Structure 1
Amino acid sequence: MIIEKTDIATVIRNEKLSILDFFSNFSKNYAKFKNENLILDFSKSKGVDKENILLFLPIVKQHKNNGRSIVIILNEIEADNFPDEIIVVPTLVEGIDIIEMENIERDLGF
């Protein structure tokens, strides 16, 4: 896992781990990130399927309940194939845009 903090979010990139190993590692270390907006970047991961991403659903729900955003970057699968709680975008720029919009919505009380 490669971790990069920006003003908007913490970007966590997976470059070498299998998605299952990444999920296991991320789950164990989630407490470190629970108060931050997160972007999970799987753009360089191969063989990621819908079932792999759905593993993150409980964490995504918990993260949103804590008033934080979590976005997944994945360019191999259509974003429409996921439940509404999981936001999947194809690029980092779009992920940052989503988090900025959600921050504005929270500030306005939506």
Structure 2
Amino acid sequence: MKVEQKGHTTTIKDTESTFDAFLEKLTTQYNSYKSVNLIIDVTHDKSFDLSCLKKFSDLSKTHKKNKKSFVIVAENVDFNNAPASLNIVPSLLEAQDIIEMEEIERDLGF
């Protein structure tokens, strides 16, 4: 797991051997990241699919309850079949844009 902090956002890149190992590590270390916006980058994991994506649902709900953004960057996922409750984008730039928009919405009270 590679972690990069930039301002109020933390980007976590999956460098584990399997997706399940990455998710377990992320879940056990979640308390370290619960107070910042999170970008989860799984673009290098070619085995990442819709079933893997759905495993982020609980973590995403928990993070959003803390009024922080949770965005997943994935390339080889059918975005039309992805759960609407998850923010999934194909690039890091789009993830940063989503976080900026959500920050503005929270500042305005939405």
Normalising by structure 1, we get a TM-score of 0.95
Question: Residue 57 of structure 1 aligns with which residue?
Answer: 57
Question: Residue 37 of structure 2 aligns with which residue?
Answer: 37
Question: Residue 17 of structure 2 aligns with which residue?
Answer: 17
- Could you tell me which amino acid in structure 2 is paired with residue 74 of structure 1? A
CA distance in 1 between counterparts of 2:29 and 2:8 reads 20
* SS of residue paired to 1:84: coil
* Residues 8, 99 of structure 1: 8 Å contact kept: no
Deviation at 1:84, TM superposition (A): 1.5
CA distance in 2 between counterparts of 1:46 and 1:109 reads 38
The question of 1:102 aligning with 2:106 is answered no
Uncovered stretches (5+) of structure 1, i.e. residues with no partner: none
Deviation at 1:80, TM superposition (A): 2.2
Deviation at 1:17, TM superposition (A): 2.7
* SS of residue paired to 2:88: strand
Question: Which 4+ stretches in 1 moved above 4 angstroms?
Answer: none
CA distance in 1 between counterparts of 2:95 and 2:17 reads 21
Normalising by structure 2, we get a TM-score of 0.95
Uncovered stretches (5+) of structure 2, i.e. residues with no partner: none
- State, as a whole percentage, how many aligned pairs show the same letter: 36
Deviation at 1:63, TM superposition (A): 0.5
CA distance in 1 between counterparts of 2:105 and 2:37 reads 14
Deviation at 1:7, TM superposition (A): 1.6
The answer to which of 28-37 and 6-15 deviates more is 6-15
CA distance in 2 between counterparts of 1:99 and 1:50 reads 22
Deviation string for 1:33-88 (max 9, x for gaps)? 01110000001111111111111100100110110000000000122222221111
CA distance in 2 between counterparts of 1:86 and 1:17 reads 24
CA distance in 2 between counterparts of 1:53 and 1:82 reads 8
How many equivalent residue pairs? 110
